Amino acid sequence: MRFYNRQHQYYCGIDLHVKTMYVCILDATGQVVVHRNMPSTPGALLEVLTPYREGLVVAAECMFTWYWLADACAAEGIAFVLGHALAMKAIHGGKAKNDKIDSFKIASLLRGGLLPQAYVYPAAMRSTRDLLRRRLHLVRKRGQLLAHIQNTRAQYNLPAFEKRLAYPGNRDGVVERFPDPSVRKSIEVDVVLIDQYDVLVNDLDLTIVREAKRHDADAFHRLRSVPGIGKILALTILYEIHDVARFDRVQEFASYARLD
**Mind listing the pLDDT tens digit of every residue in the chain (260 residues)?**
789 899 999 999 999 999 999 999 999 999 999 999 999 999 999 999 999 999 999 999 999 999 999 999 999 999 999 999 888 876 666 667 789 999 999 999 999 999 999 999 999 999 999 999 999 999 999 999 999 999 999 999 999 999 999 999 999 999 999 999 999 999 999 999 999 999 999 999 999 999 999 999 999 999 999 999 999 999 999 999 988 888 888 988 888 888 87
Q: Write down the pLDDT at residue 253.
A: 86
Give me the domains of the chain, ranges plus CATH numbers: 3-118 (3.30.420.40), 123-256 (no CATH)
- Give the pairing type, strands 10-16 and 3-4: unpaired
**Residue/partner pairs of 129-135 with CB below 8 Å, 24 or more apart:** 129/239, 129/240, 131/204, 131/207, 131/208, 131/211, 132/208, 132/235, 132/236, 132/239, 134/204, 135/201, 135/204, 135/205, 135/208
- Distance (Å, rounded) from C-alpha 99 to C-alpha 109? 15
Q: Write down the pLDDT at residue 195.
A: 96
- Distance (Å, rounded) from C-alpha 116 to C-alpha 184? 54
- Distance (Å, rounded) from C-alpha 149 to C-alpha 140? 14
